[in-house]
Chain A
């Protein structure tokens, strides 16, 4: 018995919800045949995935000369896409790890799909790392392996080497965390399935039984993994930002980058979580478990992180002025807003700083449609933020004769839009073959966090009392003594 709160919003809505009903409803897309909506979504995603295969195949076969890069702009859509995807991944870890440490129970119904998003987003990000290498078959040169050059080791002073360690650790730890959480739910599918799928889920669920010991260990492991993943997620985007911040390019050479990138990552990640979950709750009929309360809470995080990003933009301008460096000042006061890429900067500011402020209005914050549209703006805005940082800083070189523009080729576009197809293909396969909501963790909330439990807690007179009396009345109705509150 814990977290009995009379005043908090219920986390599961609806009347007469039972444990088996949760299992049935969450597993419906897994156990039933694919729906038409799913098939259409999958067909479109898979088509984009095929475009990605062609584009990345062309890149590997002919080299990165197929991209629109030039001598001045040597990094463009590839790194933009990489940072965008890694950032999107951060919300999943924030929801599954940080909110677990803070005992935020509302995370229970969204953490599974958010963390699946993390894994798929990091896979997408990794494809850009391989894609931009030029000779991707030598990717292992980034790791300190004994070799016949001396042994000549990698330079551990370089943020690019840190990045390799950070991204691979992040992916591994996220995958382990996600899978350990998934096992009890896979066991639920196993125990209901028949025939071949029973065999497959039996292998996938590692022989989970749900004994008291197993659950105790499960919770201990979840907590420690969360405690390890929390500093990890902060380190990942800090290190990604160091790829830029340790250089001397105006626009990159900024000490505010690590916290600014982390806030931006969480912002963009929650944008993507909103975009996907709003569709998922409609399509999979999970409105009971992903409620307006969840959407509103995530919108609050969007306001917070969006505002932090806004402050970071302002700080960059202030420091450019304060530094007295004419190159910094030229970059921030001329190139960004008045250069040939002014429209990218306008997109970044309007989608990241201005439109999220609309979420202060409760009506917008609790509107599904408005939230969905604003979350798309966040996704677009955060892509443009990385584009602004990367391309705008590079295209005005120190020597004006080297100034250049970046024009994406079809292959550039194929790799980027195709990677969205890759992501969606993986996400749709996930919701078809695994429970998209952590069933066990949602069942945990049924007895005290659901609407029906709260109604039971507060009899008619409860409404006329203050919150504290309400809790006491609720506790007596449920027959809970002080001692039970552990």
Chain B
């Protein structure tokens, strides 16, 4: 276990949090992470988090789903056992749309959902590092890595940003 020390700024408002982030970034101090009870819009711009690539995952998985659907239908009813149903064609595209569509949606959604859990490191029973349990209730929590040199400077800086509470924690 490495002994990284964190200083935790607890805010009670999203706008104070945002201005706090800006004030700290101005001093060239990087923010470890921010925890909020609901999606605070515009936060990713401040923290320079790139847009999620999950929609692309959904697109690729959806394409795989569509191809699976077409391949399944073409193989089963077109190649493996072509059935004569009232003399109708063996590969009637309109009739195959529903199943292909459902498989597209199914694989697209499931693929994206699993990718989402994977990138977030989420699984049943995961034990996350939670800096302040109130961050899922009504507090907006900012965590900064500190060491002995910059401790006082960050503490002072945080105090000037309208923070409601300052705490320390080690991991």
Contact = CB atoms under 8 A, between A and B. Distances in A.
Interface of A: 1-2, 18-20, 23, 144, 150-157, 159, 161-162, 165-166, 169, 172-173, 176-177, 180, 183-184, 187-188, 190-192, 202-204, 206-221, 223-225, 228-229, 231-232, 235, 239, 242, 439-441, 443-444, 447, 486
A443 B41 CA distance: 12
A231 B97 CA distance: 13
A183 to B, nearest CB: 7
B36 to A, nearest CB: 6
18 contacts: A20-B138, A153-B77, A157-B85, A162-B98, A172-B109, A187-B136, A190-B136, A203-B125, A210-B35, A210-B136, A212-B34, A216-B44, A218-B116, A224-B58, A228-B62, A242-B98, A439-B37, A443-B37
A228 B108 CA distance: 8
Interface residues of B, number: 65
Contacts of B117: 206
B36 A224 contact: no
B41 to A, nearest CB: 6
A31 to B, nearest CB: 12
B99 A156 contact: yes
Given A221-B112, A443-B38, A20 B137 contact: yes
A169 B135 contact: no
Interface stretch (B48-56, B151-159, B163-171): B48-56
B10 interface: no
Contacts of B129: 209
Given A216-B44, A440-B39, A209 B130 contact: yes
Contact of A166 (B33, B49, B96, B102): B102
Nearest to A486: B42
A204 B123 CA distance: 9
Nearest to B123: A206
A216 B49 contact: yes
Given A180-B116, A210-B135, A157 B44 contact: no
Nearest to B101: A235
A154 B106 CA distance: 19
A19 B37 contact: yes
B120 interface: yes
Nearest to B121: A207
Contact of B41 (A2, A159, A184, A192): A2
A177 B112 CA distance: 11
A447 B42 CA distance: 15
Given A151-B76, A153-B81, A212-B36, 14 more contacts: A154-B76, A155-B77, A157-B77, A169-B103, A169-B105, A177-B109, A204-B124, A206-B122, A209-B35, A210-B135, A212-B49, A223-B55, A229-B109, A439-B37
B29 interface: no
A165 B103 contact: yes
Given A169-B106, A211-B35, A228-B105, A162 B123 contact: no
Given A144-B76, A157-B92, A221-B112, A207 B37 contact: no
A155 B99 contact: no
Contacts of A209: 35, 128-130, 135
Contacts of A206: 117, 122-124, 126
A191 B36 contact: no
A441 B88 CA distance: 51
Given A1-B42, A156-B73, A214-B120, A207 B98 contact: no
Contacts of B35: 209-211
Nearest to A159: B98
Looking at A187, A190, A203, the one whose CB has the most chain B CB atoms below 10 A away is: A187
Contacts of A150: 81
B67 interface: no
B85 A155 contact: yes
Interface in B76-102: 76-77, 80-81, 83, 85, 88, 92, 95-96, 98-99, 101-102
B130 to A, nearest CB: 6
A159 B95 CA distance: 9
